[in-house]
Chains A and B, each alone.
Chain A
Amino acid sequence: MGSDVIIFVIYLLVLLCIGLYFSKKASKSPDSYLLGDRKVGPAVTALSMQSTSMSGFMFLGGPALAFQQGWYAIMYAIGDAGGGIINLSVLGKRMRRMSEILGALSPIEYLEKRYESAAVRVVGSIIATVFLFAYVFAQFLAAGKALESLTGWKYEWAVIIGVGIIIIYTVAGGYLAVVWTDFFQALVMLLGVLCLLIVGLVHVGGLSGLNQSLSEIDPSYLSIWGKDYVFYGQWGVILGSSLIYMIGYMGLPHVVVRHMSMKSTKTVKTATLWTAIYNQLFAYSPYLLGFIGIILLPNLSDPEMVIPTLAYTFFPGIFAALLLSAVMAAIMSTSDSILMQAGTILSRDVYQRFIDKKASHNKMILVSRLSVLLAGVIGIIVAIVQPPKVFDLVVFAFGTLGNSFMVPYIAAVYWKKANSVGVLCSMICGGVTNILWTSFDWQSVTGIHPFLAGLIISIIAMMIGNPFGTPPSEPIKKVFEEAKGPRPLPKNIDKHINRDISPEAKIISTFIQNNIPVKG
């Protein structure tokens, strides 16, 4: 156990160094603290987005679900594996262009500017702050839980140490630190999980052996309808399970903010490719490990501990330590991005917007850092005093954020007429639906997943509310068109172009742009 802790500590030190290194660069202006000066390359963009999206849920909650429900759980993974590609393809370029034109730094400010309404900002800030905090508290709990059972430290200390590290590099480095540490952690997560999966599959005789053994234990593990076919024929559940991570990311403020910090719109294409590859390698693995757990760990009491237990029971200590680092990596990379986001929203969307309109650069950075610090302290207290159930909280917070913000973000760049009334209706109705659906367990009555219900309601609310609002102003319509990017020439014109005058056209083009006589 001692050497595992050392490996983990070294790992944390490396992270700390990355964070501190970039924090030196970060103190210049709020723009660089909050968005890393929009200079982030494709591989870093893609991988950090993935490690942000995939939280501790992937290592604890996901495998637990797989352990309990069998192959039904893979529906979540299928959504997850495509989520990044869909997110980048749908929002990527347009959102980046629009946020740059609007000069928006935080994803909530972006919504306010696009929909020209302070109310959007108020409601958005409230929903975002509350559920981002819920989300990050769940991560803190997970961090404590993982550290406690893997190192033998007392739970309280485990929470304080884990959260402390997250807070330090978030506060010190800002977005750039978060982006780079996320990139590094995405690699560690991939390695840790793949090693574990390979060894695990060898133990159970490959995929065929795995399924063979599963069907001997209970054939319903092999269906997509859940153990004992509980969701049999309920497409609303199956669809919701895959949709939540497939499209839900587009509603997470701390995930979409990555679009706003991309180097150029050209980063998107390469980032999409990276995401596609990384996800196919990564997304399914934790669930497969859950299935392996069904066979190899029949007496496991806490399903959330499938991966850690597998590591310690069957593999050499070095793997376990690597895995511990990967689990913590997942938790930390999610938490620091969320904290960062909460800091941005509180400093820009609340403090600067409503409290001190003329806040200086230094003051903004200070407020941002203080709110991150405050969130950490509250988080630690919540995690120690009264830990709620971790993963219910994650799915709940994720679903609510997705249902509140996904339609507004997509409509912002795809529906020209979308306005503040429609968006407010959509945010509130979508979020509330998810909260009610989850709290009263309407899934078992209706056979419809809370996320799917929230999605449908938020779309309907948008359609109903929008006609009552004032249409977007001319400047916003113009921005909307510009965000679409350049359009191809009309077909018939394109067909009749005379290529032989293209040398002249090139010169004339430069000439009219500069309006000075050109030389060669």
Chain B
Amino acid sequence: MIRPLRLRHRRWTTALAVLLPAGVVLALATRPGPPPRMALPPVLAPEPPAARPLAGWDGLWRGAELTTRIGAVPDGGLRLDLEARVPVEAPDLLVYWHPAAGAEPGAAALPPGATLLGTFAGGAYGLPLPAAARGGGALILYSLAHGEVAAAAELPALGAAGGVGVAPERSAADREPPALRPSPQSAGATPAAAHAAGAEPNTAEPEPGTDAAEPTP
């Protein structure tokens, strides 16, 4: 290399040795932390109505580790809460319910007629469940970005008193043994059926003093 080029080369590399580390340090030092949880104004995100716990499970889902809770709201509807015990690493998740058909994680398509309940972002709270869900059905976590089922669960039927029953069209022995946790204080619940399915007691309990006389579909 001729001398002027050597000189230019030395100047450039010296300048880079000063400026480049400074740029990298600045870029790394100012990178944003986790986004803060911004609460939406109440008008946009009304607080879901308080619900009386009916049932809850820890081991219901295939493909994700979610805690599932169902509660009864004063107007007679059902509320579904999902909480991820381990983060679900799939983008754009939506929660669906289907009256009968289940789905396997990895399936590309939703079963026809699945009802969209809402979005899932680390959890889902206060999703309105159709009244028909008292008879059980299937819950599905669908990744819109990946176009596939990320996780799925068979929702047991809820008993007449709001506890856990046996899903219609299936016997307890046919079902996979979920970590079913029936409410021990639920009048009219069917703990025997739950235990037959390998269930464990639930942490979700009805509010003290209520008889939980929920109508059965």
- A associates with B: no
**Which chain B residues have a beta carbon within 8 Å of chain A's beta carbons?**
none
